[in-house]
Amino acid sequence: MSAMTIAEKILAQHSGKESVSPGDLLFAKVDRILGTDVTASLSIQVFKDMGAEKVFDPSLLVLVNDHFVPAKDIQAAQLSKNMRQFAHEQGVDAYFEVGRSGICHSIVPDQGLVKPGDLLVGADSHTCTYGAVGALATGVGSTDMAAAWALGELWFRVPSTIRVEVTGKLKPFVGAKDVILHVISKLGVDGALYKVLEFHGDTIEAMNIDERITISNMAVEAGAKSGIIPSDEITLTYMKEVGVHDAQLLDADPDAHYDSVLRVDVSDLKPQVAKPYLPSNAVDVDEVVGQQLEQVVIGSCTNGRVSDFEVAWRLLQGKKVHPSTRLLIIPSTREIFQQLMANGWANDFVEAGAVITPSTCGPCIGGHMGVLAEEETGLYTTNRNFVGRNGHPTSKVFLSGPAVAAVSAIRGKITNPEVMF
Amino acid sequence: MQTVIKGKVWKYGDDINTDVIFPGKYTYTVNDPAEMGEHAMEDLDPDFAANVQQNDVILAGKNFGCGSSREQAAVCLKVKGVGAIIASTFSRIYFRNGVNVGMPLITNRDAYDHFEHGDSIEIDFEKGEIRGEKGTFKFPPFNEFFFGIIDAGGLIPYTRKRIQEENR
C-alpha cells in the first residue's frame, strides 16, 4: 500500500480501495450532504427530474437556513419554504430553522455533524471549512447534490495535495486570517486549482478550532478543493465538547507524495489586508492605512466565532465606532450570540455603536442586511471581495481579520492595531 | 458508449472561458439544448457550430472552461456531437459539469503539443490512448464508474437508471 496524503486516505477509505492516486476517478460514499436555502431548491427540482422519491439516507442530509434569512423577500421566503417542505417529507432531522440556525459552516461542526476522516459535500463553495477538523469537504453543484441525496455517494477525481508548512509564533494583533491571506497571496487565486491544501507546522498546531476554521474556510480562495488540517488533541477535545466521542487522530503518511511544498515563516508577519477585488491581493496593513471606510463587518463563516469576537471586543470595549462608519457584528450561530451576551460583549458592542444582526450570510454576499451603495468602501472579515459581491459594482471591499476591523471601525479608516495600541 | 472514437481536431488556446464557449447573453433566453448547440463557440470560432462533425475532438491548452459555472457550456458542445475534449488542464467546475452532462474529458498535455487543427485522431477510452499520425499519447483509462455516467448520458440519467434498478 502506497503512502497517502490525508485527502487520499479519506477518498480511498470511502471508495473501498486500498490506495488511490491523484487523477483517479472514483465513486465514494459521503458522510454528510449540506444544502442551504439558496441551493437546496434547485437540487430538489433535479432530484425529482431524476425520478427519485426518497433520499438514500435522511441522516446524511443537513439543511441550513442562512443565506437570505430571515426571508429578505417573497422569493427568498419561497426558497426556504421549499427546503422546509423537503426536509419534512424526507424526515431530515438536521434541518435548521431561523432562530435555531446559524451560518452553516459553524452549524455543521458545532452540532457534531462532521468528524476527522469524514467525506462531506455541500452545495456551497465554503464547505471546505470542515478541513479544520480533519475532514475532506468540498463544494459541489446542485446536480451533484441531488445525485448524492439519491445515491449516498458521488464521483470524485482524486486531487493532488500541496503541503503548506506554517511556522513561527504570531505577533500580537496577528491571527489566523492574516496567515491565510498571506498564504493565498503566495499561491494566487488559482494556485491550488483542483488541489487540496494540507496545513502543517507549529503555527497551525497552536491554533484553536475557531482559528483553524478561518484557515480551512479560505482554501477555496486559492482555488483549492479543500483545505485540511491533521486532527490532533485539540481537535479531539473540541469533538468531545460537541458530543462526538469516536473521533480519531488523522494525519498523512510520513512519505506521502505532495504536488509541492510551500513553507511560510509567519514570525514577522504584519496584520494583512486584501485589497479589492481579489482575496489574493493581501498586503501589510501599513500599505493601505488611512483608507476611509463607510462600513465594517465582523462575522461570516470565516471570522464569526467566539475567538473572533473576543479579539474585536478587547479593542472595541469602551470605545466608539467612528461617526461616519457603520459596524455590523454577525455572530455565526445562536450559541455564539448567547456567549457574546453572557460575556457582556454584546452590550459593549452595542454601546460602541455597532449593530448586531441575526446569523446570516447577508452582507458577505451582498444579499441583504448591510449592502453597499455606489462608491462605498467596506472592510470585512469575510472571504471574498470580488467586483459587486458586497453591493454596487463600484463599491469596494478590503478583507482583514477581526483586530484590524475593530480598530478601523473606531477610526473610520483602515488602521494598524500595532500603532493604535 | 463507443470505446473508440475517430474525428477531427478543433484546436484552441489556453484559458478558453465559458463566455466564448457559450455566451452569457443566451443563458436567459435559450433553454432548448439543440439551440444551445447553434451558439457553441460563437465568440471564438464562428465556423465551429456550422462545421463540427459527430465525434470531432476539441483540443485546448490549460484551464479549459474557466469562468462561470453554467452547465450550458458543456451541453452546447455535447449536442453538437463533440466526442471528447482534451485539454492540458480543466477548470474544476467545468470538469464536474462536463462529466455530469456526459461529455468525456481527457487531461493530457502531450496531445496539445503534437496535434494541430484539422488533424485526424482516434481516442481509445478503454486503453487510455490518443492516437494519430503524430504519435500515441496515454491518459488514465476511463474506469467503469466513469463509463457508467458517460454511457448513461450524464449524472441525471445515470442516477435515474440506478434508482430504477434498485426499485426493480
The reply to whether residue A141 touches residue B156, judged by beta carbons under 8 angstroms, is: no
Among candidate residues B84, B80, B102, the one with its CA nearest the CA of residue B157: B102
Given 1.10.287.130, 3.40.30.10, 3.30.499.10, 3.40.50.10490, which CATH number is that of A273-420?
Answer: 3.30.499.10
**pLDDT at residue B168 in the model:** 75
Fold agreement (A7-264, A273-420): yes
pLDDT in tens, A246-296: 999 999 999 999 999 999 999 999 999 999 999 999 999 999 999 999 999
**pLDDT at residue A244 in the model:** 98
The reply to whether residue A193 touches residue B156, judged by beta carbons under 8 angstroms, is: no
**What is the per-residue burial (b if ≥16 Cβ within 10 Å, else e) of B110-148?**
bbbebbeeebebebbbeebebbbeeeebebbebeebbbb
The total of other beta-carbon atoms located within 10 Å of residue A88's CB is 10
Checking if the pLDDT of A98 tops 80, the result is yes
Q: How far is A193 from chain B (nearest CA, A)?
A: 7
pLDDT in tens, A318-371: 999 999 999 999 999 999 999 999 999 999 999 999 999 999 999 999 989 999
**pLDDT at residue B19 in the model:** 84
| Chain B residues contacting A via beta carbons under 8 Å | 63, 69, 71, 89-93, 95-97, 99-100, 107, 140, 142-143, 145-146, 149, 155-156, 158-160, 162-164
Q: What is the per-residue DSSP string for B80-144?
A: TT--EEEES-B-HHHHHHHHHTT--EEE-SHHHHH--TT-EEEEETTTTEEEETTEEEE-PPP-H
Among the partner residues B69, B93, B163, nearest to A52 by beta-carbon distance: B163
Are the C-beta atoms of A364 and A386 separated by less than 8 Å?
Answer: no
Domain boundaries in chain A? 7-264, 273-420
Among candidate residues A155, A119, A157, the one with its CA nearest the CA of residue A138: A119
Given 3.30.70.2340, 3.65.10.10, 3.40.50.1820, 3.30.499.10, which CATH number is that of A7-264?
Answer: 3.30.499.10
**pLDDT at residue A318 in the model:** 97
Among candidate residues B12, B1, B160, the one with its CA nearest the CA of residue B78: B1
**pLDDT at residue A305 in the model:** 98
Among the partner residues A50, A143, A194, nearest to B163 by beta-carbon distance: A50
| Nearest-10 Cα torsion for A332, A276, A373, A330 | 10
C-alpha cell at A58: 435522511
Q: Which residue of B has its CA nearest to A43?
A: B156
Beta-carbon contacts of residue A45 (< 8 Å; ≥ 6 apart): none
C-alpha cell at A60: 446524511
The reply to whether residue B140 touches residue A141, judged by beta carbons under 8 angstroms, is: no
**pLDDT at residue B24 in the model:** 78
**3-state secondary structure (DSSP) of residue A257:** coil
C-alpha cell at A210: 475557531
**Whole-prediction pTM:** 0.91
The crossing angle, in degrees rounded to 10, of helices B72-79 and B92-100 is 50
Checking if the pLDDT of A1 tops 70, the result is no
The rounded percent of chain B whose pLDDT value lies above 70 is: 99
Are the C-beta atoms of A31 and A159 separated by less than 8 Å?
Answer: no
Q: In one letter, which amino acid is A393?
A: P
**pLDDT at residue A85 in the model:** 98
In chain B, the largest separation of any two C-alpha atoms, in whole Å, equals 49
Read off the pLDDT band of B92 (50, 70, 90).
confident
Q: Which residue of B has its CA nearest to A48?
A: B160
Read off the pLDDT band of A421 (50, 70, 90).
low
What mean pLDDT, rounded, does chain A reach? 96
CATH no. for residue B157?
Answer: 3.20.19.10
The crossing angle, in degrees rounded to 10, of helices A142-151 and A40-49 is 60
**pLDDT at residue B163 in the model:** 93
Among candidate residues B39, B48, B41, B46, the one with its CA nearest the CA of residue B17: B41
Strand ordering across the sheet containing A396-399:
A282-284, A272-274, A396-399, A377-380, A295-298, A326-329, A355-356
Q: Does A141 touch chain B (CB under 8 A)?
A: yes
The reply to whether residue A143 touches residue B71, judged by beta carbons under 8 angstroms, is: yes
Per the structure, the count of domains in chain B is 1
Q: Which of B71, B88, B92 to mutate to test the interface with A (most CBs of A within 10 A)?
A: B92
Q: Which residue of B has its CA nearest to A21?
A: B140
Determine the structural domain holding residue B89 and report its residue range. 4-166
The reply to whether residue A24 touches residue B93, judged by beta carbons under 8 angstroms, is: no
Question: Taking CB atoms and an 8 Å cut-off, how many pairs form between chains A and B?
Answer: 65
Q: What is the mean pLDDT of residues A230-244?
A: 98
The crossing angle, in degrees rounded to 10, of helices A306-316 and A402-411 is 30
pLDDT in tens, A154-170: 999 999 999 999 999 99
Q: How far is B50 from chain A (nearest CA, A)?
A: 30
Q: How far is A11 from chain B (nearest CA, A)?
A: 15
Q: Which of A42, A47, A138, A157 to mutate to test the interface with B (most CBs of B within 10 A)?
A: A157
The reply to whether residue A52 touches residue B71, judged by beta carbons under 8 angstroms, is: no
**pLDDT at residue A383 in the model:** 95
Read off the pLDDT band of A191 (50, 70, 90).
confident
The reply to whether residue A144 touches residue B155, judged by beta carbons under 8 angstroms, is: yes
Adjacent-strand bridge partners of A95:
A63
The reply to whether residue B155 touches residue A143, judged by beta carbons under 8 angstroms, is: yes
The total of other beta-carbon atoms located within 10 Å of residue A278's CB is 18
pLDDT in tens, B20-33: 898 877 876 787 88
